[in-house]
Structure 1
Amino acid sequence: DKNYFKNTTADIFADLKTAWLNNLQDLNVCSQRGLVECFDSTIGAGTVLMPFGGHYQATPGIGMAAKLPVESGDTSTCTLMTYGYNAQIGKWSPFHGALYAVVEAVSKIVAMGGDYRSIRLSLQEYFEKLGNDSSKWGKPFAALLGAYHAQMQLGIPAIGGKDSMSGTFLDLHVPPTLVAFAVDTADVRNLISPEFKRTDSQVVYIPVVRDDCELPDFDLMRASYQRITQLIHAGKIIAAHPVRGGGIAEALSKMAFGNRIGFLMEEKAFTPEELKTLLFAPAYGSLVAEIPADVDVNETLDKIPYQLLGRTQEEEMIAIASMTISLQEAQVAWEAPLENVFPTQTDKLVRPAPPTVFYNQRGKAKSSITAAQPRVLIPTFPGTNCEYDTKKRFELAGAQAEIFIIKNLTPAAIEDSIRAMAAKIRESQIIAIPGGFSAGDEPEGSGKFIAAFFRSPRVRDEVMDLLKNRDGLMLGICNGFQALIKLGLVPYGEIRDIDATQPTLT
């Protein structure tokens, strides 16, 4: 097959603008917002970087960052996680596909501010049924060799993984697949997000060159990554984006979307002949970085090779040579390809205007039963994962919070939990059901187990006594809110039997 890295299609287009917009619409480059927003990125309070960054939340994140959960106090230590894989490279060469999967995952960690030397990997492999075909057996072996070569060159181990050789259905076969997941720890104060932050910043390209065998210069990569990490921690690189299959053009566009900060290319950054190839050529391992205007680039990057691409600008457009593209036009093109598959917009509904309501004074309602320090009961069910966050917030507000673990391994354990729960409700002023993935978010709606537990006569009676007679409060978050609906507490204020005509939340 034709060499993936030589197979750029940008030069078939009539002009640079068409090439740029078509590049943004490639399925490996285009927006996946509709898919990303199917998942809750803020299920825990430890989220550090949102899936889409910038004032306009339009620059896609390049990895996950979340603080470590701690039972008390606070921490600045976080975990980072990224992934890498390009099916087109894997199809061309399983060896290169796996190698560059590792490189891509590592480059994303570095662009976020992590140190590549402390990365650990998990390799997820998926191949067609091998049967008795020796050429098929060579594909997973070649992929493992590619990943191993990258690990040895970077000095980072894989500590986990999973493989499958069942990727065949009739005459359909998955491409040779080795997805690299990189995990690392970092200090949240040293992290950056990929969107442009300021106007008039210097935008530089830090390349990792390849040899005749299309293998990266790992010596250069190691030196560059160490220096980039130092500069991010020192505040001299304020945004960075790895270069992937869509080339420099992909990185520049995505960095510009989040804050709608434009880009103006230096006149001599590329010759006209280089524009269509270098701008769109895949360059895994390379990075585009934003450096503040007052930083001396030559002195800062020292012996690391780089190329000054241009500067950020207030005008919301990308300007290269005689070509200009408004950021709005570029973003519309980027978001269009998957809109019909994972929609981000719903059909507009014609509804009557809601009534205008004015509130002229604050509500003065207060509990009829006073407590110097309200007691909050936080029941924790199988799948709950936000109990620490909930407890911490109540304690910061001055309450005395207790996490109570619901045990369900045996009928006797459930009965003991019901008995203990009823007693604890009697001693509390607030019940707070935290969020999570109750029972794995089982089919037909989450929160069913929670609701069933609260319907047990002892617990139900204590809940209603708390709400009706002791002026208590009850809060449900995520799965907890789903349970409140399934119990009838929302919207009726009491635990009642519900039928198919009642509201629910799945």
Structure 2
Amino acid sequence: MGSVNSLYHIEFEQGYYQETITKTFEQYKKDMGKESLCPECDAFVAMPDVKHNYFEEAENIDGELKSHWLKTMKCFKNFCKPTKMQASLIANEDIKKDSDEEAMVSYGIAPYLSKWSPYHGALYTVVLALAKLAACGCDYRNAQVHFQEYYKMENQDQCPCCGNAEEGKVEEGRRMAALLGAYEAVKGFGLSYTENQEAVNLADAFLKECYGDEEAQPEFRTVAMNVTKRDHIVTTAFKKPDNKIVRFCIPYDKYDRPIYEEAMKTYKKFHKMVKNGYIQSAYAVGIGGTMEALAKMSFEKEYGVRIDEDIRLEQLSQKAYGAIVAEIKPRDIRHIEIPCMFLGEVIEEPVMEYHNEIIELDDLFEV
């Protein structure tokens, strides 16, 4: 399955999601076959530090939104570049020239989450890639999924853990945890990993365009591809003042994984709203959270946002991987069939308003 080495001798540290990842590994062996496993390797999968849970980290905002928003845009500057869409339109030989369909490709990365837990990081690269397709108006179902890893190894021709070196076991454990996280997500969404060479080549070209040949690349990323109707395509830019802004969230279990059945329902019903023309613009929440999403949706046409007074600051900064922020006309709010959070409304002034606080869009753009 891809270029990630698979192992037979694998030890999981006790605690947190140990029981869950062990079951995933057993299912992986059944699906892939023992012939795909390296019998001479050992790996140790360490559990993440639950006392410093990445998903529960709460920045001390001290009631001031501006400083935290600026910090968010600065920290994720390389990931927060303005864009009209979170997926790219690509050429596809299977689509006829006179067709009303377009092929889309998106990618998911979670470098900071992966540092805390490679398992969760890789899992959410799949979620993000699919959420981006959904936000752009593409049905996530039947998407082709491709994984790429970028783990530095001294010798690419042999497993780094051979020789039973402790550091090798831990490093290979990180790679194995990432593989199992991504594998679990693909299975959870009812999809399959692709090794279609054309799809792989498209994914490689897309990622090279995103990252170039820089070495500072995410260790694990996912590329997702699918086809959608041209008139279903949704862009990220806010369209009109007075439109409402909501966030469609996906629920998580006690191990900080998405509840796949509910996530699938959310994306399916969201696509139904897209087809009915209710979604004016949308953005899949990722590495920069809801604040990044609102800023990116505002930049192109320089419309601002009046954030609802009932929204708490921590709700804007919380990790909400896989959620989708969407712009909807006031009259179409009644058509929402999935749980959502009302964030506010689009305003003509190029500012972010929250209570008595004003943030200029130029300040966020130029950070």
Note whether the superposition's TM-score is higher than 0.5.
yes
Which structure exhibits the higher relative contact order, with contacts defined as CA atoms closer than 8 Å and separated by 6 or more residues? 2
Q: 2:66 aligns with which of 17, 32, 56?
A: 17
Question: Shift of the alpha carbon at 1:267?
Answer: 2.0
Distance 1:22 1:73, change over 3 A: closer
Q: 2:131 aligns with which of 90, 97, 107?
A: 107
The one-character-per-residue Cα deviations of 1:271-294 (angstroms, maximum 9, x if unpaired) are: xxx31x221122111010000122
Given that residues 110 and 218 in structure 2 are in contact (C-alpha distance below 8 angstroms), is that contact kept between their aligned partners in structure 1?
no
Give the gaps of 5 or more residues in structure 1: 34-51, 54-60, 163-172, 334-506
Q: Distance in 2 between matches of 1:181 and 1:319?
A: 35
Identity of aligned residues (%): 29
Distance 1:242 1:72, change over 3 A: closer
Q: Distance in 2 between matches of 1:180 and 1:253?
A: 24
Q: Amino acid of the residue matched to residue 106 of structure 1?
A: L
Q: Secondary structure at the match of 1:159?
A: coil
Corresponding position of 1:3: 53
Given that residues 107 and 221 in structure 2 are in contact (C-alpha distance below 8 angstroms), is that contact kept between their aligned partners in structure 1?
yes
Corresponding position of 1:211: 253
Question: Shift of the alpha carbon at 1:112?
Answer: 0.4
Given that residues 80 and 292 in structure 2 are in contact (C-alpha distance below 8 angstroms), is that contact kept between their aligned partners in structure 1?
no
Q: Amino acid of the residue matched to residue 218 of structure 1?
A: Y
Distance 1:20 1:90, change over 3 A: same
Given that residues 237 and 290 in structure 1 are in contact (C-alpha distance below 8 angstroms), is that contact kept between their aligned partners in structure 2?
yes
Corresponding position of 1:135: 170
Greater C-alpha radius of gyration: 1
Question: Shift of the alpha carbon at 1:28?
Answer: 5.4
Q: 2:336 aligns with which of 289, 301, 305?
A: 301
Question: Shift of the alpha carbon at 1:32?
Answer: 3.9
Q: Distance in 2 between matches of 1:215 and 1:315?
A: 38
Question: Shift of the alpha carbon at 1:128?
Answer: 3.6
Count of aligned positions: 289
Q: Amino acid of the residue matched to residue 284 of structure 2?
A: P
Q: Amino acid of the residue matched to residue 73 of structure 2?
A: L
Distance 1:31 1:208, change over 3 A: closer
Q: Distance in 1 between matches of 2:122 and 2:184?
A: 9
Q: Is structure 2 residue 198 aligned with structure 1 residue 156?
A: no
Q: Distance in 1 between matches of 2:281 and 2:95?
A: 32
Q: Distance in 2 between matches of 1:94 and 1:70?
A: 35
Corresponding position of 1:280: 317
Question: Shift of the alpha carbon at 1:118?
Answer: 1.6
Q: Amino acid of the residue matched to residue 362 of structure 2?
A: Q
Corresponding position of 2:289: 247
Q: Distance in 1 between matches of 2:186 and 2:268?
A: 16
Q: Is structure 2 residue 355 aligned with structure 1 residue 331?
A: no
Distance 1:188 1:138, change over 3 A: same
Corresponding position of 2:237: 195
Q: Is structure 2 residue 353 aligned with structure 1 residue 312?
A: no
Supply the RMSD in Å over aligned alpha carbons: 2.4
Q: 2:112 aligns with which of 88, 96, 101?
A: 88
Corresponding position of 2:76: 27
Q: Amino acid of the residue matched to residue 116 of structure 1?
A: Y
Question: Shift of the alpha carbon at 1:91?
Answer: 1.4
Q: Secondary structure at the match of 1:113?
A: coil
Q: Is structure 2 residue 298 aligned with structure 1 residue 256?
A: yes
Q: Distance in 2 between matches of 1:18 and 1:119?
A: 39
Distance 1:12 1:71, change over 3 A: closer
Q: Secondary structure at the match of 1:117?
A: coil
Q: Distance in 2 between matches of 1:23 and 1:288?
A: 17
Q: Secondary structure at the match of 2:191?
A: coil
Q: Distance in 2 between matches of 1:137 and 1:68?
A: 36
Q: Is structure 2 residue 201 aligned with structure 1 residue 177?
A: no
Give the gaps of 5 or more residues in structure 2: 1-48, 154-159, 202-214
Q: Distance in 1 between matches of 2:344 and 2:268?
A: 24
Question: Shift of the alpha carbon at 1:240?
Answer: 0.6
Q: Amino acid of the residue matched to residue 132 of structure 2?
A: K
Corresponding position of 2:327: 290
Given that residues 306 and 346 in structure 2 are in contact (C-alpha distance below 8 angstroms), is that contact kept between their aligned partners in structure 1?
yes
Question: Shift of the alpha carbon at 1:144?
Answer: 1.1
Given that residues 282 and 324 in structure 2 are in contact (C-alpha distance below 8 angstroms), is that contact kept between their aligned partners in structure 1?
yes
Q: Secondary structure at the match of 1:127?
A: coil
Q: Amino acid of the residue matched to residue 282 of structure 1?
A: K
Given that residues 94 and 176 in structure 1 are in contact (C-alpha distance below 8 angstroms), is that contact kept between their aligned partners in structure 2?
no
Q: Distance in 2 between matches of 1:283 and 1:96?
A: 13
Question: Shift of the alpha carbon at 1:135?
Answer: 1.6
Question: Shift of the alpha carbon at 1:70?
Answer: 8.8
Q: Secondary structure at the match of 2:270?
A: helix
Question: Shift of the alpha carbon at 1:31?
Answer: 4.3
Distance 1:4 1:70, change over 3 A: closer
The one-character-per-residue Cα deviations of 1:98-139 (angstroms, maximum 9, x if unpaired) are: 100000000000000111112111100122432432222211
Question: Shift of the alpha carbon at 1:324?
Answer: 1.0
Q: Amino acid of the residue matched to residue 291 of structure 1?
A: I
The one-character-per-residue Cα deviations of 1:400-438 (angstroms, maximum 9, x if unpaired) are: xxxxxxxxxxxxxxxxxxxxxxxxxxxxxxxxxxxxxxx
Distance 1:103 1:315, change over 3 A: same
Distance 1:255 1:72, change over 3 A: closer
Q: Distance in 2 between matches of 1:263 and 1:208?
A: 23
